[in-house]
Amino acid sequence: MKTQHMEFSRLIKETSKAIEFSGVISVKAGAELIHSSAHGYSNRSDEIVNTTETRFGIASGCKLFTAIAICQLIQKGKLRFDSELKDCLSFEFPNFHQHVTIHHLLTHTSGIPDYFDEEVMDDFEELWQKNPMYHIKRLKDFLPMFQDEEMMFEPGERFHYNNAGYILLGLIIEELTELEFSEYIKKNIFLPCNMEDSGYFSMDKLPKNTALGYIDEENGTWRTNVYSLPIKGGADGGAYITTTDMFRFWEGLFSNQLLNQEFTNLLLEDHIATDEEGEYYGYGIWISKKNDEIFKYHLMGYDPGVSFNSAVYPANRIKTVITSNVSNGPYDITCALEKEL
């Protein structure tokens, strides 16, 4: 086992150097932290280096927080998986199918229009030409971008990754709890897991030890992502975490601190096959299988100037958290580690 740990560290060192990685790479075997290293700058202008306690944005990696919040409300009897969207929100959706359910929204099978359809649009920054990112401060601010559009397909017909569905789940959380979405997550997920350094921070007032996101241009110049993302993250993405806090989150989830055993199992069930062979989706979480066995539960997040990957490998008792303040890197590190697994 010690040999494998040394091999992990060697692979991480070689791969991170080859791709000029910027961020933090942390690996746990059981309860033991076997690797943690920081690379690059959190602030390039002032040459402030990243540390293992730097906060990073994780983009869509936090859809799982939204899914857990919904499952908490269902566990408390305030909602059902088969509850229909039209009965859960006071907003009007004139062209939506009448039978879109919570389950459909959680599993990206609703068919509702998306404000950013990743199969149609390549560049997330295109969104803000008509809708300035500094106006997107609350979940309801996203609604004009999709609420009057037509359905893409019938509910339950197929898997199609959908950010707008998670915006709607966040709005349902707000209506049921009378709390702002980020406050609910802080109170019911971050605090129970002792994730003291994590939060949904506004980009114009980031706390200390938070990495700025960087977009590297083809001509060798760079810029920050401050004009490329909504000013504050929400139910479909945009939280900031440290790798230490992310380990605390995984430990809290798998020890039933956030949901009871029944609902933890439902969250982690492979509800729908995705477009990629061996890949499934639970509630807010990706599930990879090999030979019909769970290979890993994992989260991914990609935004301009943000990339994130975190995985739990049950058979190996390995957990990884890889955060970055540029648009790529964690996937390459993950692939290198998985060759060793």
Retrieve residue 139's tokens: 């979940």
**CATH number given to 2-340:** 3.40.710.10
Which amino acid would we find at residue 31?
A: A
Tokens 């390039």 — which residue? 44
What digits encode the pLDDT tens for the residues 282-311? 999 999 999 999 999 999 999 999 999 999
Tokens 């499952």 — which residue? 71
Tens-binned pLDDT, residue by residue, of the chain (341 aa): 667 778 888 899 999 999 999 999 999 999 999 999 999 999 999 999 999 999 999 999 999 999 999 999 999 999 999 999 999 999 999 999 999 999 999 999 999 999 876 566 555 556 655 666 566 779 999 999 899 999 999 999 999 999 999 999 999 999 999 999 999 999 999 999 999 999 999 999 999 999 999 999 999 999 999 888 888 999 999 999 999 999 999 999 999 999 999 999 999 999 999 989 999 999 999 999 999 999 999 999 999 999 999 999 999 999 999 999 999 999 999 999 998 88
How many other C-beta atoms lie within 10 A of the C-beta of residue 221? 8
pLDDT of residue 136: 74
Retrieve residue 125's tokens: 């920054």
Contact between residue 209 and residue 325 where contact means Cβ atoms under 8 Å apart: no
Beta strands in the chain (DSSP E): 23-29, 32-39, 41-43, 48-49, 56-57, 214-216, 222-224, 240-241, 272-273, 279-281, 286-290, 293-303, 306-313, 318-324
